[in-house]
Amino acid sequence: MDTKKVWFVTGASKGLGLSLIKQLLQAGYKVAATSRKAHDIDAVINDHKENLLVLTVDITSENSVDDAVAKTIAHFGRLDVIVNNAGYSIYGSVEVLTNEEFRKTIDVNLFGTVNVIRAAMPYFRKQRSGYVFNISSVAGYKGFGNSPSYAAGKFAVIGLSESLAEEVKQFGVKVTVVAPGFFRTSFLDKGEELVSKNTIEEYQVEGLVDRLRAMNGKQPGDPEKLVAALIKLSNEQNPPVHLLMGPDAYQIVMQKRNAEQEEFEAWKELTLSTDLDEHQKGASPKF
């Protein structure tokens, strides 16, 4: 492994982000670790601080992200891997989520990711190398009721990653969008902010939240194994663009794909019925 690489990790104060920076530092990598509250990182990292740059960053602010990436390069002299890990979710139906609540989810999950990529790409393009990890979710492949804003953001991250991979492969830059299932992190450690301030009883959002809270601390995925896999993947010559993480993620996505295929085939006749008739195809358009 090339431990000279410099990593830039968002959402590094807890969960997958914290597990990742700990393993990177233990392996000898240099790490810029970002969070809205940098002191939260300082409070839990005791060793290898000579290779750690802790930055307070609001990823929804383009200026904040640009400044953080510039400080990283000034401090370490280079940048090699970015990990867009920071995430946010709030539960509630499309009907009840306020504009502010929906936009906050998109701002963090999508525009925060875009801001980091946009800031890093000039350096990656110039050095003709780099790696972008975008953390999506199994909810980026299958939408679940009462979490539409999260699904919208995570679906978008997958589409963004696919487009980015096509754009930057000419520069030697690699892109992998990671879709974890349920991993035993602090992601579900929330109080009332877990649910929209508005509720409509018929949507039964509390049932979903109760199930998630009951699952908290019992998730099957091991975050240490996930981040170890990402570190290993960063040294691969031909890594995947799409990566599902966890048996639950694989099962959910495969079931979704099979259901989609059945639905497409069931409506294939209607799908194929919309072309111009043969005698019209050569006709000039009329205005």
CA atoms 11, 246, 154, 176: torsion sign? positive
Residue type, 118: R
The single residue of 29, 141, 150, 203 carrying the catalytic annotation is 150
Annotated catalytic residue: which of 13, 35, 89, 136?
136
CA distance 157 to 134: 7
- Helix, coil or strand: residue 34: strand
Residue in 21, 69, 65 with CA at minimum distance from that of residue 44: 21
- The question of whether 186 is a catalytic residue gets the answer no
| E strand or H helix that includes residue 25 | helix 15-27
Q: Which residues contact 268 (CB under 8 A, 6 or more apart)?
A: none
> What are the φ/ψ torsions at residue 241 (nearest 5 degrees)?
-75, -40
163 is catalytic: no
Measured distance CA(261)–CA(282) in Å, rounded: 33
Structure tokens at 69: 């990436």
Phi and psi of 81, rounded to 5°?
Answer: -135, 130
136 is catalytic: yes
φ, ψ for residue 85 (rounded to 5)? -105, -25
What is Dmax (Cα atoms) for the chain? 75
The residue ranges of DSSP E strands in the chain, in sequence order, are 6-9, 30-35, 52-56, 81-84, 130-135, 173-180, 242-245
Count Cβ neighbours within 10 Å for each residue of 64-80 and write b for 16 or more, e otherwise: bbeebbeebbeebeebb
Residues noted as catalytic: 136, 150, 154
